[in-house]
Homo-oligomer: A and B are copies of this chain.
Amino acid sequence: MRYTKDHKLRTRRRIVEQSARGLRTHGAQGVGLADLMRMAGLTHGGFYCHFESRDELVAEAVIYGMDQTVKSWLDRFSQIPPERRCEAIIDDYLTAKHRDNPGKGCVLPALAADIARGGLDVRRAFATGLEQMIDVIAIASPSRAGSSQRETAIAILAMLMGIVSLARACADRELSDEILASGRDAMRRHFVQAH
């Protein structure tokens, strides 16, 4: 065996990282392998040293992207008292910065529709990642009579991704900003416990 095992693993990781970014930016079908490999500093020919197919890469990129988001949320939680966490997630997620940088942002608004049309492997990867996201958000969700934290977490995730999706699709900048602002207000009203 030549090159250390570590070397190959790190290269593979770089491909997944950069592909996660490229796929979120351009969509699951909107960018080619040659471009994704170039983003990782490689040429397209080497792709099949690391993956069996394009679909395998997409599935890995989805997992990677969702893990990234989960980790960033957990990081954020560690800096913030429990009762402020939900508010913090909402405020971080519903920003112009997030709207304008899908490549660095959450997988849900960027790729959910593509994943819905994808193969079983991608959709399985998504379901696993989503369970994790639900679990993390549930920690921060307000407890109320008549609904579990898990139920609330699902509602929060859906609303977060819906708001960013709509804001991104509008050509009209004013409307897009309004969607972000209205969405943020509504979410604060519904999901942040007064204190």
Q: Identify the closest chain B residue to A116 (Cβ).
A: B168
A128 CB to closest chain B CB (Å) equals: 8
Count A interface residues, CB 8 Å. Answer: 53
Q: Which of A149-186 contact B (CB under 8 A)?
A: 150-152, 154-155, 157-163, 165-166, 168-172, 175, 178-179, 182-183, 185-186
Q: Is the CB of A166 within 8 A of B171?
A: no
Q: Is A88's CB within 8 Å of the partner chain B?
A: no
Give the CA-CA distance A116 to B100 in the complex, in Å: 10
Q: Is A115's CB within 8 Å of the partner chain B?
A: yes
Q: A-side binding surface: helix, strand, loop or mixed? A: helix
Q: Is the CB of B165 within 8 A of A161?
A: yes
Known: A110-B113, A113-B112, A152-B186. A162 touches B170 (CB 8 A): no
Q: Is the CB of B165 within 8 A of A108?
A: yes
Q: Identify the closest chain B residue to A99 (Cβ).
A: B116
Q: Is the CB of B185 within 8 A of A147?
A: yes
Give the CA-CA distance A83 to B154 in the complex, in Å: 26
